[in-house]
Amino acid sequence: MFSYLDRINLSFARQPMEHDLNFSDATFGLGAGLFFVGYIAFQVPSSVLLMRFGARRTIAAIMIGWSLISFLFTIVDTVWQFCALRVLLGVAEAGFYPAVLYYLALWFSRQMLGRVTSGFLIAIPLSGALGGPVSVFILSRLDGAMSVPGWKWMFVIEALPALLLGFVLLRWLDDGPADAGWLDESQRRLLLTRAPAGEGTGPAGAGGRTPRAFTALTRPLVPLLIVICFCQAVCNYGIVFWIPTFIAQVLAVPPSQVGLYTTLPFLTAILAMTLNARSSDRRQERRWHMAAPFLAVSVLLVLAFLFQGHGAVALLLLTGALAAALCVTAMIFTIPALVLEKGTLATSLAWINSLGALGGLIGPYAIGWLRVHTGQPLAGLFLVAVCAGVGGVATLRLPR
């Protein structure tokens, strides 16, 4: 939750930062997207480090690193500093998401992956539902405290939990079932047998060797999953980064109320993700539980553009689009553990997430560019809608 909040709190700080630093919408969109330059470049190296040093030390180091970089946003006063820190934040966070997904695959059976992955990724809408009001509260109540702008207070306060939790994980987290002293031998054997990545529980994976980083790209389904993940990233980050701005646009509410209204889409997403994941596990079906939300995003965003003059209707349509986009996010990484061998699972997840994350670079920036150059605040919704449609069609090409 704090990982995602440290990525998206920029969306709540947009207006005061643009005012204080003389940034444009395009600059803001570029900064939001540049996160993924570092994120993409260092994802596969991070997965190699994960297999070499184990989950405990890797995840803890990542959390401590990104929290320290978040603190540095308080000294930003130029465009290049802002962009450089966004790249560095991406570098720091690069391995976190695939590392946790791999870690879950060490412990839970294939039949449970839908619920488990969705349970983990509920942190995304939770960060928006809780982080929105908290961020707006900090921005308004602490603005000017000790002569420091509210957006700087926000970056400091919201980076502290990740720093503390990093040290907690370093002390308490096990690298996997093979290292968990609270399991007896029969329990350990059961987990190693049933979990999709269960054989690779040691720091260096199965057999004690770090897998070659490029081997995963030769697997037939990995390129298709990269395309799907790209479309998902455009939908996810394109909507999440701009949802406060979209809501302010369709409802014409002051910035102090935007955080309250953003709670509705994120709470709805929590319910939708939970129901979709439970249905997927119950039916042991993944394709349609990902393709249908993709197609729903496409339709709902087009309707939101057409009904942007009707505030409440547009808000409901944007709410549905965000919920559907996060249902896709929750489902997409249940598939690799089902179709890829254990030896390349960690690096496959890293390649899929890193190259797919190019959509996170393109989506936010393209929306900001379209806002500036078309004069239509919601023009970017069509870009996201097209990518969602492509993602839905590509998903249906996955094996049954």
User: How large is the average pLDDT for residues 262-271?
Assistant: 87
pLDDT class for 343, splitting at 50, 70, 90? low
Q: What is the pLDDT of residues 238-261, one digit of tens each?
A: 787 777 778 887 777 776 677 677
Spell out a b/e string for 145-177, using b for 16 or more CB atoms within 10 Å of the CB, else e. Answer: eeeebbbbbbbeebbeebbebbeebeeebbbbb
User: How large is the average pLDDT for residues 267-286?
Assistant: 89
Dihedrals phi, psi of 367, to nearest 5 degrees: -65, -45
Report in angstroms the alpha-carbon separations of 158 from 81, 106, 128, 135, 154: 20, 30, 13, 8, 6
- Check pLDDT > 80 for residue 373: no
Report in angstroms the alpha-carbon separations of 300 from 275, 310, 394: 19, 14, 19
Report in angstroms the alpha-carbon separations of 307 from 180, 366, 375: 54, 22, 17
Highest mean pLDDT among 97-101, 236-240, 372-376 belongs to 97-101
pLDDT class for 164, splitting at 50, 70, 90? very high
**Cα 348 off chain centre by:** 17
Residues in contact with 61: Cβ distance below 8 Å, sequence separation at least 6, in sequence order: 166
The residue ranking higher by pLDDT, 333 or 148, is 148
Query: 39, 360 in Cβ contact below 8 A?
Result: yes
What confidence score (pLDDT) does residue 3 get?
85
Dihedrals phi, psi of 379, to nearest 5 degrees: -60, -30
Dihedrals phi, psi of 272, to nearest 5 degrees: -65, -45
Smallest Cα–Cα separation from 363: which of 342, 337, 340, 391? 391
What confidence score (pLDDT) does residue 275 get?
92
The residue ranking higher by pLDDT, 195 or 288, is 288
Residues in contact with 79: Cβ distance below 8 Å, sequence separation at least 6, in sequence order: 21, 23, 27
What confidence score (pLDDT) does residue 204 get?
43
What confidence score (pLDDT) does residue 255 get?
67
pLDDT class for 293, splitting at 50, 70, 90? very high
The residue assigned the tokens 């094996």 is 399
pLDDT class for 69, splitting at 50, 70, 90? very high
What confidence score (pLDDT) does residue 289 get?
92
What is the radius of gyration, based on Cα positions, of the chain?
20
What confidence score (pLDDT) does residue 200 get?
45
The residue ranking higher by pLDDT, 110 or 120, is 120
Delimit the domains of the chain by residue range. 2-395
What confidence score (pLDDT) does residue 201 get?
42
What confidence score (pLDDT) does residue 208 get?
46
Q: Model pTM?
A: 0.70
Q: What is the pLDDT of residues 45-60, one digit of tens each?
A: 887 888 888 888 999 9
Report in angstroms the alpha-carbon separations of 25 from 18, 22, 70: 8, 10, 21
Q: Would you mind telling me the total number of residues written for the chain in this entry?
A: 400
% pLDDT > 90, the chain: 21
Residues in contact with 322: Cβ distance below 8 Å, sequence separation at least 6, in sequence order: 125, 239, 240, 243, 265, 266, 268, 269
User: How large is the average pLDDT for residues 75-83?
Assistant: 87
> CATH for 2-395?
1.20.1250.20
What confidence score (pLDDT) does residue 295 get?
95
What confidence score (pLDDT) does residue 228 get?
93
Average pLDDT across the chain, whole number: 83
